[in-house]
Amino acid sequence: GQSLMEAARDHDVDGIYGDCGGNLACATCHVVVPPEWVPVTGQPDAMEDDMLDIVETGRTETSRLSCQIL
C-alpha cells in the first residue's frame, strides 16, 4: 500500500515533499492531524518523534510525518 505521503505527493498536495522517499530522514512530509483523526492514524513512534523535532514551523501536539501513516 501507499503511505499518506506518497498519496499526497502523487496528487501534488502543496507542502508535502517527501524528500527522503519515506525513510524517516527529512520531515518534509510533516502534517498536522486533526485531533478527531488521531484514533485512526495512531501516535508517532520514538524514531518518528525524534525526527519531528527538526520540523521548524507548525509542529503541534498532533503532528505526524505522513510517510509513517500507512
Residue ranges binding ligand FES (CB under 6 A): 5, 18-20, 22, 24-29, 51, 65, 67
Strands 63-65 and 30-32: antiparallel
Smallest gap from residue 68 Cβ to ligand FES (A):
7
The residue among 5 and 33 lying less far from ligand FES, judged by its C-beta, is 5
Q: Exposed, middle or buried, 34 (CB in 10 Å: 0-12/13-18/19+)?
A: exposed
Cβ-closest position to ligand FES:
67
Give the Cα separation of 8 and 15 in Å (integer): 9
The residue among 13 and 24 lying less far from ligand FES, judged by its C-beta, is 24
